[in-house]
Amino acid sequence: MIHRKLNILLVEDNENDIFLIKRQLNKIVEEPVIETTDNLQDFKRLLSNFAPDVVLSDYNLPECTGLDVLTTVQELDDTIGFIFITGTIHDEELAANTILSGASGYILKKHMNNLGEKLEPLLKKIVINMTSKKELRNMIRQNKITVNKIYDYLDKMNSEDQAQKENINKIREAIGNFDINRTESDAG
């Protein structure tokens, strides 16, 4: 069992599958908070407003594919775990492509009876990654706060001396380069 709150965004159009997946999630996650949708527009809204820890998605949906959903997640926040739960992936190449595209895993719906057994290790792996990334995000957040405080201080400095103005501009430029380099190294 996963002993923490987990925000789960379920992208599924079949009501029976929604019921079965939710039932299995309640067995393996102590405190699941589950939102569901079956279309990309609502998904984008929920992705921003609900802030899921993991997205579970069918592959074939009425208005899009699971790969469209995965791409949307990656564009907004590529740290969000993504798992396909689908009946569509019969082709090994397509299954491999979902993983290569960035999915954390996939489970076939034919295994719905033992979904919990297959899903729990994938979710545990996502939770472990979330914990380590949370520490990194906090460090980045603190660095950005520090940089913003320095910018505020520089903005408050009222310099009439040309040499001081040039020095302030050099400091701003150096901070900007530092911030860009940090962002690039954090992305890598």
C-alpha span between 130 and 136 (Å, rounded)? 10
Residue 8's pLDDT band, with cuts at 50, 70 and 90, is very high
So what's the pLDDT on residue 183?
Answer: 47
Give mean pLDDT, residues 50-73: 91
pTM of the model: 0.68
Q: Which region among 5-19, 41-55, 75-89, 140-154 has the lowest average model confidence (pLDDT)?
A: 140-154
C-alpha span between 23 and 160 (Å, rounded)? 68
93-144: pLDDT as tens digits: 666 777 777 888 888 888 788 888 989 999 998 888 777 666 766 676 677 7
So what's the pLDDT on residue 31?
Answer: 93
Longest dimension (CA), the chain: 75
So what's the pLDDT on residue 13?
Answer: 95
C-alpha span between 101 and 123 (Å, rounded)? 18
> Could you tell me the strand order of the sheet in which 54-57 lies?
29-37, 2-11, 54-57, 81-86, 105-108
C-alpha span between 79 and 141 (Å, rounded)? 16
Is pLDDT above 90 for 185?
A: no
C-alpha span between 99 and 4 (Å, rounded)? 26
Give mean pLDDT, residues 63-89: 87
Provide the percentage of residues in the chain whose pLDDT is more than 70.
Answer: 78
Regarding predicted confidence, which is higher, 182 or 135? 135
So what's the pLDDT on residue 88?
Answer: 63
Give mean pLDDT, residues 161-185: 66
Alpha-carbon Rg for the chain, nearest whole angstrom, is: 22
Is pLDDT above 70 for 174?
A: yes
C-alpha span between 52 and 30 (Å, rounded)? 16
